[in-house]
Structure formats: C-alpha cells, structure tokens
Amino acid sequence: MKTVLFACIHNAGRSQMAAAWFNALASRDKAAAISAGTQPGARVHPEVLEAMKEVGIDLSRAEPRFLSDDLARSAHLLITMGCGEACPAVPGLLREDWPLEDPKGKPIERVREIREDVRQRVAALVAREGWG
C-alpha cells in the first residue's frame, strides 16, 4: 500500500482538500493519503469546511498537523502546495509541486473553484498511478 503525503504551509486548506479527495477516489487497498503543514494552523479554514461539505466530504474533525521529516520519510510520494523550500527534502522520495492558490479568506465561489482544481489533479494522479 502506498502513502501519498499532501503538504502546504498551514495544513488548513489545500492539503486537507487534496487528502480528502484522494481518500474518496483511491482504492483503499492500493493507496491512502495524509496531509501536513510546515506551520500548522489551529484548525481547517471555515470556507474549506463549507466547500467540502457541499460535495459530501466532512472535514470538521480534521486537525492540522506538523510536516516532520519522519512523516515525509514514511510516504511514497510528497505533493507540495506552496510550502516551497520549507517542505522537507527526503532523498529518494518522489516529489511533485502543485501550484494551487491558498483558499484562506477567499469568497466561497473562489474556494469552490480551488476545490474543483484540487479534485481534478487528485483524480488525474489516482488514474495515472492505477490507484482507482
């Protein structure tokens, strides 16, 4: 089983959405996702909670967590979203960067667009890797 780690700065928006989409779309016996941040926030952004709830994904119990080197080493693939050089560099770990806008403080219409961008990227990843 493969582990995909989605990482952003606060682990309160993009990476939470990506991990939730991944776990909804991927076959649980092939791969699972976790998320973390380099400077975890106190909670998932309210606008992200609302946008994900609209598509039937409840993130109300999700808690931002710290992206440690050990956590990164436990993953098969690290997908970064705006943490740049603050994200750990782990030798041998596959890494991709997805340039996604931070949804924090954005109007719900924009957060929905970001949510759909994340969904499309995750769906393409799941299909590409054969994790569906």
Dig out the tokens for 60 from the structure: 């109300």
Catalytic residue among 75, 83, 114, 122: 83
Catalytic residue among 59, 87, 122, 126: 87
Catalytic residue among 4, 5, 8, 118: 8
Whether 8 is catalytic: yes
- C-alpha 103/C-alpha 76 separation (Å) is 26
Whether 92 is catalytic: no
Which residues are the active-site residues? 8, 83, 87
